[in-house]
Amino acid sequence: MERVSVFGKYSVTLYLMDNDRFIQVILPLKLEWEPYYRLPEGMGVSVGERVGVVFAHRHYIAVVSGLDCHPTSSPDKILDIEGVETGLPPIGEREIAFWRQVAYYYLCSVGEVYKAAYPSIAIRQEETEVRIRQQLEKRKERLLEKIEKAKFERTRQRYQAELEALENQRREERPPQVKSLSEAQQRALESIKEAFAKGKTVLLHGVTGSGKTEIYLNLAAQVLAEGKSVLFLVPEIALSRQLEERVSEALPEVMVYHSAESAARRREVADRIREADACCVLGTRSALFLPHRNLGLIIVDEEHDRSYKQDSPAPRYNAREAAIMLAICQNARVLLGSATPSLESLYNADTGRFAKVELKERFYKGEEAELMIIDTAAERRKNGMAGSFSLKLLAEIHKTLEQGKQVALLRARRSYAPAVQCSECGKTIKCPHCNVSLSLHRNPERLVCHYCGHTQEYSGVCPDCGGELVPLGGGTQKIAEELQAIYPQARIARLDSDTPPKEEAAIIKSFAKAETDILIGTQMVTKGFDFSGLSLVAVLQADSILAQQDFRADERAIQLFEQFRGRSGRRGSGGLFVIQTREPKHHVFSRLKGEDDTAAILEERRTFGYPPYSRMIQLIFRDGSEKRIDYLSKELAEQLESSLEGVSVVGPYSPAVDRIADQHIRHIRIILPRDKRLSERKEMLVKTISKFEKERKYPGHIAIDVDPV
């Protein structure tokens, strides 16, 4: 039988069968709808249960999202589910609600969010864990039987000991061991609690070394005591490794969750969250998608950090915003912390969306590190440079090491050299698959593309003319080599994305214990580390950081420099912050000298209509055909201009690196006013793109990035 129903101005034919029951499911796919399936007679399911289904001739594990549904297609075309995955824990309704919020905001499908939260490898791991638990239970049952039947006490004790060894022993419960707070910290803590009581998200703006972490731990301890869980987010795995020991000392039941943990360990954390009434998870952005069920507090440390943004694949979310969405679903509170807050968060505080709490005193009462800016162009003219270092900086390094203190150096490029060039014909060796120079790496010596991973042997000879290839510039490897030659007795370590994950923790721990004298690294060394012996921090070739072509370039540079400056002199002993640059009069350095230009930057953003005064969405085209991508991206841009009234459409244009892995890249930037029509315009944008993809038969080539960074 069929029935015609009217929803608003739309008529929809609903097909109903008297004895059939239909459900809707979420598949881990990019779908604009949630497919219908038939329940076999006598079978019951609940929302959140996982079921086996066939879709497009492939088998998937889907999540039940709707019960007793009325399909809009003929029942003859609807398949039965294969069965209920009884061994897999169900997905909570709050979890599904969070997925829907993320999908709605970031203009992707809920299936893509499901896939991010439960990738296929995680589901297979869940199934393995279920089998292991079942086998474990059978062993326990057999041991209990043996204990009952044992004739001798010695035998019974042996079986009993074996049984106890099989039990999952949780760590002994202990009260939190948080430290007492200073007066300034206590005032900040009380202000945060007052804002939480009013239902506000709180931005804690505390200078570096002010003791924000102790405030986090005090709040977390109170939430755990109330029987609720805490999620503590950090931007980098390396930072979580240093914080783990500190947080574990203060709080009971701390679990670490990030991609470098084993699949079994990540699964264990998820299971523990489902079981525990109150626990604390320390993790990176992916920890947002754990099966939280009793969440009371989310802490987002270093909330300004770009690492919180997921670039690919969808959902392309920012953990800062997603944390607020999760808190709404969980009825939890959110605390954002930073010494250099993002302009978006400062704007939200100014407009009343967030409450702002300031912490202006350093915990150890010391002054911030003294600033020294060295003009490398001037130094080079008077022979004041030795390789990558000015003689002034080398003198400061020497003095610091003589005092038994430590040095950290920032070079924003890994490898030995970012590029190699022929000394005869001037050819720069580029990646055959990307429009980017190959970087020279040593030990072993090779050329590597930092975009697609292409690697080739390095002969040192130009393939065109046979001339000698000369390294251009210096990455972290070269810096380390130069320093080791200058200070052969110094203990030098390097920390960048080439560092094996297993070695990161050891390098950080060694530096924290003052077993390393000099640490050289990329941006990760600027994050919220706390090294008591670090006295001198220096930026090499700062111009590569300032020369980014982006409206956020100055904001990012200021945040990076301020964060790095805050790593030194954290125990009240003072410190020195050195910047080597060819542009010593750059306006970014005025901020470091104490001139607060936040208001000027915000006013500039307002003038040009940039975020936070607007919403920005970037469309990313990828295509193997340059001719096709240029034609179709231009056509879509024209359609968007005509369909989106009052919206700025910029492009298409080529990014700085416009070919990666043999795929040409084009961008279209869309700027939407923050007004009552924002949601309507976002929906129209998605419809226009979807229609374009279908009409031009161009699926899979366009990605939508909401709030790009």
| CA triple 583-589-595, angle to 5 deg | 150
DSSP 145-205: HHHHH--SHHHHHHHHHHHHHHS-PPPPP----PPPPPHHHHHHHHHHHHHHHTT-EEEEE
Identify the band that residue 5 occupies on the pLDDT scale cut at 50, 70 and 90.
very low
Q: Determine how β-strand 333-338 pairs with β-strand 295-301.
A: parallel
Separation of alpha carbons 461 and 659, rounded Å = 25
> Rounded mean pLDDT of 429-448?
91
Mean pLDDT of the chain: 86
Tokens of 467: 């001339």
Ranges of each domain in the chain:
2-93, 123-166, 183-359, 370-414+475-600, 613-706
Q: Which of 169, 165, 212, 162 is nearest to 192 (CA)?
A: 212
Tens of pLDDT, residue by residue over 50-102, are 999 999 999 999 999 999 888 877 777 889 889 888 778 889 999 999 999 99
Backbone angles phi, psi at 397, to 5 degrees: -65, -45
Separation of alpha carbons 562 and 192, rounded Å = 24
> Rounded mean pLDDT of 452-474?
90
* 218 pLDDT higher than 70: yes
Is 165 or 246 the better-scoring residue by pLDDT?
A: 246
Amino acid at 29: L
DSSP 612-666: TSEEEEEEEEEES-HHHHHHHHHHHHHHHHHHSTT-EEEEEE--SS-EETTEEEE
pLDDT at 170: 44
Strand residue runs (E) in 320-418? 333-338, 354-359, 370-375, 385-386, 389-390, 406-410
Identify the band that residue 518 occupies on the pLDDT scale cut at 50, 70 and 90.
very high
Contact by Cβ (8 Å): 705, 618: yes
Q: Which of 508, 499, 493, 502 is nearest to 244 (CA)?
A: 508
> Rounded mean pLDDT of 148-152?
73
pLDDT at 266: 85
pLDDT at 248: 82
Identify the band that residue 26 occupies on the pLDDT scale cut at 50, 70 and 90.
very high
pLDDT at 4: 44
Q: Which of 9-13, 122-126, 261-265 has the lowest mean pLDDT?
A: 9-13
CATH of domain 183-359: 3.40.50.300
* 667 pLDDT higher than 60: yes
CA 423 to chain centre: 41
Tens of pLDDT, residue by residue over 105-137, are 999 999 999 999 988 645 555 554 555 555 566
pLDDT at 131: 53
Q: Which of 110-119, 155-164, 391-400, 457-466 has the lowest mean pLDDT?
A: 155-164
* 9 pLDDT higher than 50: no
The secondary element (H helix, E strand) that includes residue 91 is none
Contact by Cβ (8 Å): 103, 121: no
Residue with tokens 């060039």: 421
Q: Which of 133-147, 481-495, 623-637 has the lowest mean pLDDT?
A: 133-147
DSSP 539-595: ESSTHHHHT--STTHHHHHHHHHHHHHTTSSTTTT--EEEEEES-TT-THHHHHTT-
The secondary element (H helix, E strand) that includes residue 367 is none
Separation of alpha carbons 59 and 449, rounded Å = 37
Within a 10 A sphere around the Cβ of 531, how many other Cβ atoms? 22
Task: Report whether the peptide linkage leading into residue 176 is cis, meaning its omega lies within 30 degrees of zero.
Answer: no
pTM, rounded to two decimals? 0.85
Q: Which CATH architecture has domain 613-706?
A: 2-Layer Sandwich (3.30)
Is 276 or 156 the better-scoring residue by pLDDT?
A: 276
Contact by Cβ (8 Å): 633, 666: yes
Q: Which of 200, 204, 158, 170 is nearest to 185 (CA)?
A: 204
pLDDT at 91: 92
Tens of pLDDT, residue by residue over 624-635, are 999 999 999 999
Q: Which of 274-278, 333-337, 676-680 has the lowest mean pLDDT?
A: 274-278
* 196 pLDDT higher than 90: yes
Contact by Cβ (8 Å): 237, 504: yes
SS3 670: strand
Backbone angles phi, psi at 451, to 5 degrees: -105, -50
Residues sharing a CB contact under 8 Å with residue 333, sequence separation 6 or more, in sequence order: 196, 201, 202, 296, 297, 298, 327
Tokens of 336: 């954002």
Residue with tokens 């200058």: 486
> Rounded mean pLDDT of 684-707?
94
* 670 pLDDT higher than 90: yes
- Percent of the chain surpassing pLDDT 90: 47
> Rounded mean pLDDT of 649-675?
92
* 10 pLDDT higher than 60: no
Q: Which of 248, 342, 315, 239 is nearest to 554 (CA)?
A: 342
Residue with tokens 């503590």: 232
Residues sharing a CB contact under 8 Å with residue 85, sequence separation 6 or more, in sequence order: 49, 50, 51, 52, 61
Backbone angles phi, psi at 344, to 5 degrees: -60, -45
* 390 pLDDT higher than 70: yes
Q: Distances in Å between the alpha carbon of 109 and those of 28, 32, 62, 76?
A: 9, 6, 14, 26
Options 3.40.50.1110, 3.40.190.10, 3.40.50.2300, 3.40.50.300; CATH of 370-414+475-600:
3.40.50.300
Task: Provide the β-strand partners of residue 519.
Answer: 408, 493
Backbone angles phi, psi at 308, to 5 degrees: -75, -10
pLDDT at 654: 92
* 171 pLDDT higher than 50: no
* 651 pLDDT higher than 80: yes
Identify the band that residue 176 occupies on the pLDDT scale cut at 50, 70 and 90.
low
Separation of alpha carbons 507 and 499, rounded Å = 9
DSSP 112-138: HHHHHHS-HHHHHHHHHHHHHHHHHHH
The secondary element (H helix, E strand) that includes residue 672 is strand 663-673
* 207 pLDDT higher than 90: no
Within a 10 A sphere around the Cβ of 356, how many other Cβ atoms? 19
pLDDT at 16: 47
- Per CATH, 370-414+475-600 and 613-706 having the same topology is answered no
Contact by Cβ (8 Å): 296, 229: yes
Q: Which of 482, 472, 392 is nearest to 384 (CA)?
A: 392
